Each structure stands twice: as C-alpha cells, then as structure tokens.
Amino acid sequence: MHSKMIRRRLALCTAVLLLVPSLWAQSIATRHAPSAKTLTITIVGKLGPILAGSDPLGLNGQNGSLTAKASEALSPTKHTSNSATYTLPPGAIIVKAGSNKFKTTTKSKMIVTLTNSADILTLIASGSIDGFNFQVTGTAYLQPHSWTNNVLKHPTTFSPSPQNLTAAKKANGPGSKVKYTVQGLGSTVLGLSGSASNGDPADWLLYDEDR
C-alpha cells in the first residue's frame, strides 16, 4: 500500500517538473514581446541661400533641423506607383530653425517619392510662433535606391545612413530645401545643406504592465 502511494507521488512530482519549464517559457514569451518599431528620421544642416521670398525670420545662414517619428505599422493615406503619403499624429515632428523651435500640435505629413535620380523625403508640419501660424515643408533629396519598395507600404529605414544633403539651387529645382510660411508674412524657400539619418531601435514592452 505504501509503495503504491510512493509511486503515485513520484509520478505526480515528475509531471510537475516536466510542466514547469513549459509554463515558464510561455510566461516569458507573453510578457516580453517587441512592439511595432518607431522610425526616427533626423534632417540637420545649414539653411541658405534664399531661393524665394523675403526671409522675414532671418533664417538664411542659420542652422536648422527636422525630426520626425513614425510607427512602422502605419499604412499610407495616399499612394501612387512610386510614392506614399503618411499622416503622422500631433507631436510627431519637431522643427528647429535658428532660435525658433516648435513641436507639432496638429497632424503632419511624411511623403516618400522614389525616382531614378533621387529618393525624395518631404515633411510637412504646422505650428505657431509668437502667436503666428507657421508651416514648414522640408524636402531632402537622398541617394536613389536609398529605400526599397517596402516604404510604399509602411514607413521603414533608408540606407546608407547618414548621408549628405546638397542644397537646391532653385526654389522649384532638385536638391534639399526648406519652405516656411508665416501667417501674414508670406513664404520663403531656403536651400538646405547638411545630412539625413534614421533608425528604428527595437522597443520592448512588458505586456502585463500595459494592461
């Protein structure tokens, strides 16, 4: 009788020992899983020369930057055979130009256009400075084939990164540039020489802590 009980207890202990590692592995897999990556693109450089407008903010010769963040889970709100337009949420773009800085409080746009001569990134952001409405359009001409066609389905990284940007010579011509419009003061287009870089480090979440 005692021997039967001992055998049953040994069988039960063995089953528990075999089950514990499996449960532990499932717990780890459930608690630690990567979320959708966030793509961060940074454009920095020197503004100028003036290609159009009167430059009321005096930004010619000043340093400027555009930083945009986009979830790689986004789908385009508009697309063609060689371009995709993504709508970014408020706060997704930060603009610095000289002593001016603002973070978007409304939705922004990120447009990627793939051409044989260049892959073109356009960022359109709106904000306010000293009570005046302010819109910035930054255009960066990257090397051709910096992106794969996957960027037309979801935001993704370009390569190489960083890469140099050459300022446009005409307001409507090729090359990197920044256009800004201030309410009541008209629009100005400035060339932009500098660099563009990007990255999407993995973002790990503890799922149980987010519930």
Work out the pLDDT band at 201, boundaries 50, 70, 90.
Answer: confident
Domain residue ranges of the chain, discontinuous segments joined by +: 2-32, 36-200
Answer for the pair 196, 142: CB distance below 8 angstroms, yes or no.
yes
Work out the pLDDT band at 203, boundaries 50, 70, 90.
Answer: low
- Better-predicted residue by pLDDT, 115 or 18: 115
Work out the pLDDT band at 146, boundaries 50, 70, 90.
Answer: very high
- Better-predicted residue by pLDDT, 114 or 27: 114
Its pTM stands at: 0.79
Average pLDDT over residues 121-146: 91
Select from 191, 197, 165, 195 the least CA-distant residue to 61: 191
Work out the pLDDT band at 133, boundaries 50, 70, 90.
Answer: confident
